[in-house]
Amino acid sequence: MSMLNSTENLGIPVEIGAIDGELKKLWEAGDASTNASLMNFLVYTEDPSRLQENSQTIQELTRENACRAVLIAMNRKATDVKVESWITAHCHLAHGKKSICSEQVSFLLHGKSLGRLRNTVFAHLNSDLPLVFWWQGEFSELFEERLYRLLNRLIFDSSDWADPKIGFRRLLEARSDTKGGMVTQDLSWTRSYFYRLAVARLFDDPMAHKAFPEIEGVRIKAQSKHRIAALLMLAWVITRSGWSVQCQETDRVILESLEGSEVVVDLIWDDEGAPISELEMSAPNFKARISREAGNSHLCQSICAENHVADFSGPADDDDSAGLVASQLSRGGKNSLFLNVLPQFMELLEGGD
């Protein structure tokens, strides 16, 4: 009997040794469906109660990202060592015609057993397809070299971490071990994607462009839970602008611009607003502002300069992790911009106490 309240989303319970055979039967039974897979997508959590929710997330993600999904939940507190497993398929109609299906294998691992996570992962991958690993929560000691050396892409959400400094140090270590071969994607970084696009868009405007060297203030408002997202976005602004950090207090950073002038950054925490609810950059007679109301799917973008006001709307990033992961998967790439920003971010992170 499983420790989960319900296993209905997970599909048919199967013996771990019979998974391949049962999956084959699953496809033989379906007559109008196509099994599609572009990647192995592995979701790992050390919170077993998330297994059901993760299965629902995969149901959504497979609409646009056909994959072999492997869900693993680890109940490390259990005293007995045992494994429960399930199989299912998520099917979606493509253009109202053919049913496109992605198969899913779920595991609930109980107790501690050396190398079991790694071995479970390796035993259930589709050969040759890339391995995308979504690690939920803190990097535990199970995040080890023999596992992450084989990952093509690691997705994580640093907003889940109690101590981001430890988490990012661990990440940098892993990147060094893999000699940069593993693409890393922090959902806290993804959260600011459309904000960054909007900043770039606003500074295409000749008036904004002209005012850029005179910027003297930056204001970022975000939920306190998303402090890392705010810092990552700030690190991006600093890196792209060529500014340097002069001094840093908890929620205020003093920067020096390329022209030698002072830029004051204020970080404001608003738990009622959107994850990131505002980014404002101001100069004398100029203001560029991007904002988002909680629950709104658009960013409001505006420029206010002498004799010149412009307002636009643009898309906003998803609030939930599943939506952010879907965006990441559809964009692909090496995420090199994140890596470029990481040193500046680490400086802000380490200096923020």
Partner 1 sequence: MNNPFREDLVSRNLAEACSVVIFGATGDLTHRKLIPALYNLAIDGELPAGVKILGFARRDWSDEFFCEGLEDSNRKVSRTGHDEEIWESIAANIEYHKSEFQDKDGYKRLSDRLDEIDRERGGKGNRLFYIASAPEYFDDILLNLKEAGLSQERPHCDGCWSRVIVEKPFGTTLETAQHLNEVVNGTFEEKDTYRIDHYLGKETAQNILVLRFANAIFEPMWNKEHIDHIQITCAEHLGMEGGRGGYYDEAGALRDMVQNHLLQLLSLVAMEPPTDLTADGVRDEKVKVIRSLRQWDTPELVAENVVRGQYVAGNINGKEVPGYRDEDRVKSDSETEAYVALRCMVDTWRWSGVPFYVRVGKRLPKKATEISVHFKETPSVLFNAMPGGVPTGNVLVIRIQPDEGISLMINSKLPGTTLRMEAVKMDFHYASSFGKSSPEAYERLLLDAMAGDATLFARRDEVEEAWRFIDKIHKAWADSAEQLPIAEFPAGSWGPWEADELLAKDGRTWRRL
Q: Is 307 in the site for partner 1 (CB under 8 A)?
A: yes
Intra-chain end-to-end CA distance of the chain, in Å: 47
The residue type found at 245 is V
**How far apart are the C-alpha atoms of 143 and 136, rounded to whole Å?**
11
CB 142 within 8 A of CB 121: no
Stretch that binds partner 1, among 126-134, 162-170, 200-208, 219-227 (CB under 8 A): 200-208
Angle 183-157-319 (CA atoms, 0-180°, nearest 5)? 115
Q: Which of 289, 103, 323 is nearest to 202 (CA)?
A: 289
Q: Is 130 in the site for partner 1 (CB under 8 A)?
A: no
Question: Does the protein bind partner 1 through residue 38 (CB under 8 A)?
Answer: yes
Report the site for partner 1 in 99-128 (rule: CB under 8 A).
Answer: 100
Rounded Cα–Cα distance for residues 145 and 336 (Å): 22
Residues 133-192 binding partner 1 (CB under 8 A) are none
Does 65 engage in binding with partner 1 (CB under 8 A)? yes
Residue 46: both structure tokens together: 């050390």
> How many residues are there in the chain?
353
Q: For partner 1, which stretch binds (CB under 8 A), given 13-21, 121-129, 221-229, 293-301? A: 293-301
Q: How many CB atoms lie within 10 A of CB 136?
A: 18
Binding of residue 314 to partner 1 (CB under 8 A): yes
By CB under 8 A, is residue 83 in contact with partner 1?
A: no
The answer to whether 263 contacts partner 1 (rule: CB under 8 A) is no
Which range, of 51-59, 95-103, 128-136, 259-267, touches partner 1 by CB under 8 A?
Answer: 95-103
- Residue numbers of the site for partner 1 (CB under 8 A)? 34, 36, 38, 62-66, 92, 94-95, 98, 100, 194, 196-207, 209-210, 212, 237, 240-242, 297-298, 301, 303, 305, 307-308, 310-315, 330, 333, 336-337, 340
